[in-house]
Structure 1
Amino acid sequence: MSDQTLSAPAIRPDRARMFRNTSIRTRLYAIVVLSLAMLLIFAAIGVHGIREGSRALSTVYEHQVQPRRALLEMERALKEVRFRMAGYALHQHPAVGNRIHLGEARQIISKAWQDFRQKSRGNDYSPEQQALISTIEKNLGTLPAFFEKLDRAYARDDNATIAAILEDEWPYAVHTTVLKPVAKLIPLQEAMVANTYGAYAAEGRRLIVTGLSLFGLLTVVLIWFVGRVTVSITRPLDAAVNVADKIAQGDLSSKIESDSSNEIGQLLAALDNMREQVHTRQERLETILDNAAEGIITFDIKGAIKGYNRAAEKLFGWSEQEVLGTHVGMLLRPDTMESRESYHEHFMRTELALLIGREGEMTGRHKDGSTFPLALKINRMMLQGREIYVALAADISERKAFIEDLKRMAEHDGLTGLHNRSYFMGELERVIERARRTKEPCAVLYLDLDNFKYINDVHGHAAGDQLLIEVANILRRRGRKSDLIARLGGDEFAVLLYNIPPERVAEVAESFRKSLADAIFRQGTVTANVACSIGAAMIAPQTESAARVMSYADIASHMAKRLGRNRIHVFESADAENAATMALDMGWSQRIKEAIENNRFALACQPIVNTRTRKVESYEVLIRMLDDKNALIMPAGFLPPAERFGLMVDIDKWVIAHAIDTLVLQRRKLPKLRYSINLSGQTLSDLGVCDLIQAKIAATGLDPAALTFEVTETVAIADMGVAAAFLARLKSLGCRTALDDFGSGMSSFAYLQDLPVDTIKIDGRFVKNLDTSPVDQAMVRAISEIAHALGKQTGAEFVGNEQSFKLLAEFGVDYGQGYHLGRPDMILPCKAISGQAGEPGLCTL
């Protein structure tokens, strides 16, 4: 789906570019300035109107109102004089009228007219008003003579004259010539005042209308500008909010664009950059999740599924839409719960806690109803304040099948398909332990072929291998389903007979011998009889160990051979007292003890080579025993009786002490030289060995990392707790550890996680024929990959040719060891060792 685009709206692209690029701060400043301008203009208009109104009122009052008041004062004074004089003439009382009143009236009239004339200057009078003013002013000149005449009459108290003047002369001299024009002028003056006020009022209204219109215009402009600024801000922000809402809802495909460079443009650009980064991260995360090999399921604290990648869809068959919101328990098969709903509750309450932070194995449920083994690991995390779980799920059907194949191969003989010695000895130990509790009678048959060496030497290894296969088939046909049949190695076989009465052991052993004796082996032109000597030994509640039972059966087999071959012999107590046999064992025991006391051992070393650099990086220390003539006795000659007589701890201590002393001397010339030392099963139970190692390291100052201690897989898994504790103690000292002969007796790769070892050495039987055996190649490759996945290095023994060495490098095996790379040699001084090596790599370690 192509990305959508949400663009910030443009305001007339031909005019708005500069406006769009104007900053929001500038726009807000413009709004504030425009608002202030409006207020200032409106205030200026108001001040101007008030000032002009005040001036107009002052002018009207001074030049029109006051002249009118003067006229009124004149009119009042003239009328008052008339009434007062008339009253005085009638009543003859000074309170009514006298000369003082007359004088005051004369002054009031004179002053009022002067005020009128002074205040009315500049007035635009009409012709009628001008005529009346002229008449009044002209006739006022006659009044002084009139008032003098009255004053003289007042002085004489001539009331008759006063009455006559008022009666005969006043109407013309005052009333007609002055009072009537004044009376006519007053309304004209009032009309003039009213007109002037009206004119000024109209001007004020015009000013108010002009101010309001200008204010309205500025208000409209301000509203338009504010609206434009608001739209230019809110629309892009609305678009941004819309995109933000879509981002919050998980839609990251919508872009937001703006050609503005102001704060909004920067905000939108930052928002789109954030969206793009989130989109990129989400796509990267989705790509990782969708391409992850494991199914990834996220669910909340109620078990509701919130996420589900493609690998999970393939794993369980349901699509993401089908499972979102459903309970995670639907993907698992309930084993014991009565209903699926109750299993959902059981899973969240019980099983979830067991899977957090660790991998567990459960049964997955496919959409089609099928089930499969499922590896499930759950991690708990907090997301936005809420608890959420992330489950990693993988179908381990192939892994389990592969491990089962490896287990089968590790427990079975590769040639005959029978169980091997390691499995047989482990089962024998379990049977002995059970016999101590149940008293169940069991027995062991030890079969040694009589003619195998002849056939193998004369007719070749192929004929010898085919003979062993035929023998295995005969034993299978003869044995019961409950019997355990194993090939111990070479031409030696063993049968573990369960629940068999002692009186029937000889009969059963004879039936096995007869089955083999009656068989005729044919291969091509080769024809031979198959015969064997069988030794039998009973397993009693007091039986000490599997090794003891096997030694009895072995002795019985040798007794059968000594008695003429192709026969059976059941071990009896008298056989244990056989002087020759006991002398043999006791002789070895004594010789080993004397060798320990007299240092009649010697150390040999075999190089361990890095498969990538082809350089020698360390040596495995091997032991040899010296006989009376200082001839070397190989380990196969004295180690088995040493194990039977419990002398392995003393031998291991001797090796450890002398190997450390030798290594300290040689590291003076070869500072990076390292030794690898083997430890027996008996030694793992003796913590005093760790104390010895610690004391030797402290006394010599040796770097503990220069020492690697090896234990075989069979020994390690015989008692995992003891082996793990012992190896952990060695690692705490700083030493390195290795698991030797891996694959020889392995029961599960899970043991590797429990054993604190640094290196896994692959059993030699998988390496001998590595260049020609696809099965061995698959085994070596698988062991190497699993070991590296667990963070451990790998090594391989019995490297017999260059092709095998190259294959080891190709399969990622770190180290190789074998005759092709170097035979074990006696430990010599450093100079001699470097000379023997023939490679400068040894001395440059």
Structure 2
Amino acid sequence: MVLLFCIVSYLGLITNFNDQRKLEHQRFEREIDSLIDRLSQRLRQQAEIIPFLDGMREALLSNNKEAISNIFDQHWTLLHFHSGVEFVRLYNTSNELTADWGITELNVNDDGVILKWIKEVHQNEIPISPLLCRQNCIQLTVAPLLIEGQTAGIAVIGISLADALLAFKRISGADIGLLLHNSSSADLEALHIESWESSVVALTNKVDSYKILNAASKAYSFTDSLKNIVQINWNHRHHQIKLYPLNSVNKNMAHLVVISDVTSAVNNIYDSVWKIALIGLLGLIISEFLLFSIFTRLLSRLKDVSFTLPLLASGQFEDFRHSLTLTKKKQTYRDEIDMLYDAAVELSRQLEDLEQKVSSRAKLLIAQKDELSRERDFVANLLDTAQVIVLTQNSSGKIISMNAYGEMLTYYAEDELKNTPFLNILVSDFDSHELSMHLDEINQGLREQLRHEAITHCKDGTTRHVAWLHSRLSWNSIDDPSILSVGLDITEYKRVEGHLAWLADHDPLTNLYNRRRFSDELEQAISRSDRYHHTGALLFFDLDRFKYINDTSGHQAGDALLRMVAGMLLRTIRSDDISARLGGDEFAVILPEINTEGAIEVAKKVLAHLSETQLTINGRTHKVSASIGIALFPEHGENVHDLLAAADLAMYQAKDTGRNAWYLFSKEDRSRERVQTLVYWKEKIEYALLHDRFMLYFQPIMNVHSKEINHYEVLLRMHDVDGSILSPAGFITAAEHTGLIHSIDHMVLHKAIMQAAKINQNKKNSISLSINLSAHAFNDPELLPIIKQKLVDHKVDPKTLMFEITETAALENLPGARALMKEIKDLGCGFVLDDFGVGFSSFYYLRELPVDTVKIDGSFIRNIIENKDDQILVEALCSVASGFGKNITAEFVENEKVFRVLGKMKIDYAQGYYIGKPAPYGTYFFQDREL
């Protein structure tokens, strides 16, 4: 075990060491790339300032070589000695050399390569940074000289990599060198490694590093081995070597070699393994000594006990106890042998008592026989009264007996089923062979129980669904019961289960598929279309002015209309087509294996049949029309989400062109732009939710009479990646279309309630907040539990929270809105009806919805000074709202004149830029500052 533990520890330490070295060399590679990038960036910056030298602009534009040379000569010395630039070449717009400075190791062929780069940069006007290696490696930058956005020439600047290598040495602490493979370097100071056919033109810690490389060259080939990390031992130290190829013009010629000293880490591994081995061996020796000393004494005492046990077996209980007393020695501390002595004595007493009881038990056998007879009668009565079928089978599978409940349920008498095979009472389509095999396994003792469900015959011709449990019984002859079968009637349960399964896939109002089942069917249709290369279509439509029918004739009329539309769809489409109600007044139809013309014809047929449909109720006749969006698959979408989005946008396009119309989604029209916009905002919303980029702004609401501010409206903003602050107008619609609106609602609730707790933590006078809810909040089953949980978690007084909804949000789902508002108000929170007065049904909603405050829409307040009609309308709205006992808030209060006019009306609160602009938390709330 010690050896195994040492091996495992060694392997673990080596693995950890190798992983750390890999990470270290990855960091080296990033540092090298970063240093070369910074070198190239510095050269580009120097190239960019050339046109801005005094007089250089006019010299470049006039292509005056002498002037260019004279101007740049003044700066060349500083550039060469301070920045380490090796050479500079300037070319005119005709790619001709204008002037050059510095001495290079370039040959005639290199001039051709540089000219090629100059032409490329001249054409693209984008600087490039190639690496050129000959006898040494020079980092070049070929950059355009831009004057007022026009190219006035090309600058070629070269610098040695020596500064980058020294910088790497300072940063990493490892030695680094530059190797030129297959290079005939003329540099007298260059070091050559013959076996690698390479020259070392630059190397830190030159003497030792060169010896290490020579030692490595004898053990490893050049690039094949050194591309990975290799380790060698030199001068009693451990070194790791790794090559990093440079992306130069001459492929695979230039490499950076990094030499790391890992002696300390390797020695630590060896020391750790030796310490583990020594500690383990020492522990082994000590444990052997302790075991020997302990067991020698214990075994001698255990031997004494073993000699007295035969007395116990022969029934000499008193002699056994006496012998144990003589052999037992007095111990200062009790151990397991003492416990064995005591247990043996106690066992002798119990055996003696049991022997006496056995004789007395014989006298009770006759009395127990009578008791067993009574118990048998009780079991027989119990089987007859139990509400389950109880029957027994023999080893041949024939029925022997059946209880009274079984006779009542199947209408068979027990005598009629005796000697009848059990399988005969099951329906014929049941897998009788498999069941018979399993019952035989019970008879043979291969299994104890068997559970299964089967449809069972009744004598009157009916059937019952029964869950059977077969258990094995012990038997001696073929006529003895072998299997006990208990059957529970689950007929009603199966009926309810089937109905629930149907409800899971169907809309109970129209009997069409619901959204969940429709999504599954659409996904399968798309898959078949892709597999067999058949085109298909999706029709998505909703009914025009359906909410008007609900408001004027009631929800019963709306339900009747939805059933009529569903029946019309089933009569209109093909038998293979799939129709569904997706919710509200939205319907969809899947048309598999159909082309564009066929899909359009079906849409026209649906519109024609809808136009013929009329609903007359309470003396009022409603005509039906719809707007249909058509999307083809796989052309307009290869998954359910994209296809529904395309069809949805096409449907809205049909509404824009005029109701009772169809529209075919097209990638060329603006519908495609809407999809792209939807995807753009979806990604932004998901990123903001993931990285907590949403933030809350607060806008104060003033009490008009007391001029106090104790209430704020919570407004949502998105902090974009570019630093800008985005309002909800840009992303709320996309969130509703993509289903992310619920996540935004949950996030706003969490942040707002947490801020409410923080604001009122040390305040004597509580501050209340208004939180806006989206139109989809009333369809969110998680909303109310979240509010309850957050109120408990943050210990917030519900009276300090109010929730704002708009008239349009309430109109979307009036019963749902009313129910949710009532439950939230039962918690103690309040409600504000926003945009009051915009709709024609404002007073109706004021009566139907349990709101505390109404907020008059800003369109009536903004021009109330100039527009007398707005004044009359606002006074009327105030009169009705105050008559219902509601508080009244006016928004868009932009100046003092508007505020004074509102003070003369029945306005309770004012909100607008005059009172205060929306701002982050810190603008209005500080921990030690009163509002």
* TM-score w.r.t. length of structure 1: 0.40
Say which structure, 1 or 2, has more relative contact order (CA 8 Å, 6+ apart).
Answer: 1
**Normalization by structure 2: what TM-score?**
0.36
Tell which structure's C-alpha radius of gyration is larger: 1
More strand by share: 2
Structure with more of its chain in helix, by fraction: 1
